[in-house]
Structures are given as C-alpha cells and as structure tokens.
Structure 1
Amino acid sequence: MTVLPEVHERHGATFREYDGRRVVDSYGRPDRTHRAVRKGVGVIETRYGILQISGDDRVEFVDNAVTNAVPTENGRGVYALLLDPQGRIETDLYVYNAGERLLCFTPPGEAAPLAASWRENVFIQDVDIENATDDLAVFGVHGPTATEKVASVLHGGVGSPDEEFTFVRGSMGEAGVSVIRTDNLPGEEGYEVVCAADDAHEAFETLITRGNNAVPFGYRTWESLTLEAGTPMFETELDGTVPNVLGLRNALDFSKGCYVGQEVVSKIENRGRPSRRLVGLALDSVPEPGAAVFAGDSHAGEVTRAGDPPLRESPVALAFVGFGDDLDTLTVRVDGEQVAASHEPLPFVDGSERSARLPEY
C-alpha cells in the first residue's frame, strides 16, 4: 500500500496492485513521462519490504545468509541474493549498515516470509528481526539530472553520495532523510530517499515541488525504463533462477565463507558456461510473458517480459535461451504464429548510466 494515496491522487495518479501492494500505475501520459525522466529527472514512490536487524551479531548473521559481503561500516550497503540449497534465487535484497541496525530492502512480498525464516534460524546469536515495512517510505529519484535535483533540496551540510550503495543523512524540508546512491536500474543516474512514514508527505512534496524540476512517475513508466535498460527484475527474471544464468555478477562475492547456497553457486561458476542466458530481442509485435522462443525448428526458451517502450521504434523483449543456440535464426510465438526476432545487445537504450544488473557472461 502506498503511504500517500491522497497525495498521489491530487497529482492525478491511478493505481494498481504490484506484488500484493497498491502502487501508483501512472499520473497520465506514461510515454511522455518516460521521456521526461530520460531527459531530466523523475520521482517514484518505490515499494519495498523492509527488515530491521539489530543486536550485536546482526552483521555476522546476515552475512552468513546472503551471497555478498555485508559492510561493517556505517553508511554503506550492498546488493545480495538469498539462495535455496540448489543455488536458485529465493529473493534479492539490498543490505545497508545504518550503525546500530541493518536495513534489508526486499521485493514487497518477501519481507514477511524472510523475517519468519530468519527468526527460525536465530539460536544463541544476539539478533533481533523486525518488519519495518510500514514504518518507512522510499522515493526513487532517477534521470540524468538526478544529482542536481537531490542537491537542490538536500540540507544538513552534506552532499549527494557519489559511490554506489553509500548513503548520507540530512533533511528535505522538515523531513529527516537518508539519501542512497543506487545501482541505476532504469539505466539512469539514481538515488533513493528514505524517511519515516510520518515524514513521507513532506519528503515527496519537497522532491516534486521544490528545487530543480522533477516529474512524478509510476510503475508503468518504471517498467518501461527498466526494460529499455535491460535490467533483470525479481518478479520476471530473478525469482527461481540460478545467478549465472542471469550473468548477475554484482550480487556475488566468491571469496566469502559458507552460507546457504554459496557452495552450489561456486561449483556452477567453476563448471563453465551456464545452460541458458538472458538476451534482448527486437520484434514487430509484443509477445506475452512465457511466449516460446525458437532457434530454427528447435525450442530455445521463453520470453520473460516484453513491451513497446517509447524510445524504441519497435517492440522489444527479454528472453531466456539456450547458451549455444543460434541467435541469428530466432522466432517467437505471438498469437499462435511464429514472428521473426532479431537478437539485440543490452541495453536497448543508453541512458546516463548503465544498470549494474546488466548480464555479463
């Protein structure tokens, strides 16, 4: 559930369900808004599930559970995965060291089951796990002028963080905020502004109406931006997939000690190329998610998501295909017919930054 439904409505928002939560779909004219973000900067209320981990053993506990090294320094974070025993992704998450606590940002529907699972695994450690999803609000600030936007409204004697997954504390209007440098999922320079839910109205209105201009945008624009950027997302590509099939490098630290799934992932990594890979396709029509992809006469894989984004002349899709399949002979089944598809390198559109999740094989 958005923490600001009335405020979004005043800006002309329509809503939809996203992973079990009500979010802004658009504020009207999503294609125009998409272009405005690519040319300048936009603000979106981003829905996460949020866990707060406290106690003396908090860093060690979370570090032993995830695929990347949890930072011990206040003001730093990391992108990581939680894997099942077969090495498949159960959830992805961002872990931030906020001094006396860790904050774990998960996909919206994953916080409660993750909290329950972790609580079952706490034995003699000094660890306390709380679901803080309803206590905090998060706003994404994305676009080639995002740094200027944040600088124009961030006060407290601090500048915008310039290193990925670092954050600073300050204020926007009367709201106390933390500002995080993101991993550029829409293919643009980006930040996330985190505040108490009670301060969400002040923070959002400050971002939209004060300082440099910024346009509000919803999840329809977010999805078209991340598709153009070639960013694999949890709901469509990551969930249940082995990381090396995604070419996902920024979430893994192979120098770490044991944690659930690490040994499996290391063996897969050392075994050579994966069985499948994620590729970009250009087509003449938009296929449904799950549409079959063929290489010649052989079934090669399936589409994960597709669309007709504003800055492309024709529809595009992300698809899993066999690693050794001939990418020059691809077709996709659309409305019962085989439609020719050409392989295109990712990203589909170059923005001010490259998404940190772009596949690397």
Structure 2
Amino acid sequence: MAPLPATAVLLRRRPEGEPRPDDFEVVHRPVPDPGAGTLRLETLWLSLDPYMRGRMSAGRSYAKPVDLGDVMAGQAVCRVESSRHPDWAPGTLVLAGCGWCSASLSDGTGLVRLDPAPAPVTAALGVLGMPGMTAYAGLAEIGRPKAGETVVVAAATGPVGATVGQIAKLRGCRAVGIAGGPDKCRLLVEHFGFDAAVDHRAPDFAERLTAACPGGIDVYFENVGGAVWEAVLPLLNDFARVPVCGLVAQYNATDLPPGPNRVPEVMRAVLSRRLEIRGFIVWDFAHQQDNFRREVGGWLAEGRMATLEHRVSGLENAPAALVDLLAGRNTGKVVVKVAADAPD
C-alpha cells in the first residue's frame, strides 16, 4: 500500500460575525498506511450542521472548539479503505467523526457500523442520525406532546424541524412549522404533512402565527431564537414545554441585541404560565437511542416519514455551503458528496 492522497479543510481563523469561506483553508496532504490496530477511512458523504458555527469560536460551550489549523469538525459516512484492525474489514460502511477530510486514520473508537439496506446511507447524517435523534429525544423527554396539542417548530424544513413536526403528527398533534419564504412553507404542508406553515419573513409574521395556532401553543421546539421566539412567547399556553436545542439566529452575533430588556417579560411568563424551558444537547438523552432507532427507523421504512436533502458536490465547496446553511439558504439536510463514487 501507499499513502492515500487526501484533501482536508482546516479552520484558518475565527470568524467575527457571519463566517466567510476564506475563514477556512483547503489543503492537500497524503494519509499514510494504517499501522497495526488501525484502519484508513475514505469519506463518502460529509454532514453540515448549524452546531459547527459554535465550534469555530473560542468561547465557552458544551464542546471544545476547533483549534486554528486543525481539520474542521464534523460527522461523515465513510468506507473502510484499508485495515489492520481485526474488527473492521475493507469495504465496511461506517459513521465517523473524522471531520472535513477526504481520508483519515482511525483506531476504531467511536465508529458506528452502517447497514445500507433500510435507507440511503446519507440518512445516517439526517433523519436516522444526530439531527433525527435530537428531534426525537428532545420531543420525548422535554416536549412530551399529547394527542390534540399544538406543536410548533422553527427552521422546520431542516432535518431537526422536519422530524419534530412529523413525529408530532404521528403522536396525534397539530403540527405548525415556521420557515423562511413561501416555497419552504409550501414544502412543509405538501411534502412533510404539517397542518400549517408560517413564513417568518412576512411583515405580519406574528399575526399569521397567531392565526395558525388558534388554541395557543403547547410545545415549542426552539432551534432559532430571535424574532421567532418573540412571536411565540405570547402564544404559549399554561404548562407549555419548550425544548431548546439551538439558537441559529444568534450564532453570528458579536454583541447583545439592543434593548429593551426582555428578561422580566420572559421570567414573568415562565412564572405565571408555569412554562418549562429546558436546553439540551442530544447525547443528554442517549438512553433514548434504541427507541429512536426502532420508532423512526420503522416509520421511515413504512413510508410514514418524508425526507429532503440539499446536496453539495466537492469537499472544497463545504465552507461556502456552511455559510449558506447558517443564512438559511438551504432546503433540507445539507450533505456534501466527497467521493465521486459515493453511494446514495
């Protein structure tokens, strides 16, 4: 065997505000042969997700930031290209946290073996992966939707939001999605089966949301924040539950927004309406993993859940694709095709 030519995307500098493609650096360097007990992975599909913006910053968070000059963090569907590890044969498909690179070495730690039969392999990065698990676990543990309740989710055409809404429907709830633009709102109703969709870019967004939720909101799955949250807050019913898994509207902020101070209003609502607002990271609820795979995998196999992907070709285009994702210019789960012969 010989070293494998590879491409990697490094974090070149920490962005101030909105990231730019030149905050990254694309480099070409060989990946050596695997040594005893290791294997070499070829990246097929790379996942792009909003959490990556936080990994680009040096501030305190739930995960260590990417160091300058290091490979950008991320999950990928990979193929074992060569192996000197007894548990991993060449050709095996795996889910790996290898980051933004076309090839890498691994000792097998953290790898998840993938079965390509039940669903396209890219589903392991979306509805059957971290985003799907985020939706399922956050809704099950914090949202606790009951039949007949109204469940609202923002960024609803993304992999988390679309899964939240569809699970809510399967639980007998009214599902209302919030998205940017009429095309995305149409997708929510026609493709994903939501009961209603509201365009957060509409000048009368708050009024439209009120009309879509005539009985108020019982569960609001928060992954955006900002102006969307301000419109949702007055509609939350007594004892409403708010799982918080992201705040995309604030990820690029360099300072607090100008006043007025809304904290007293929020805290008064929390107290008087007995609201339950809880932030979470997906693996807080790792005990839900088996339930998630069984239920969501079953719904997907039965054709009861729809998916949508936004595909980008070429690892070198990942930086621009992440910028677009954070600006809401994608529709569906963003995946990057890294290998020319990557299976669908």
TM-score (norm 2): 0.27
The structure that is strand-richer by fraction is 1
The structure that is helix-richer by fraction is 2
TM-score (norm 1): 0.26
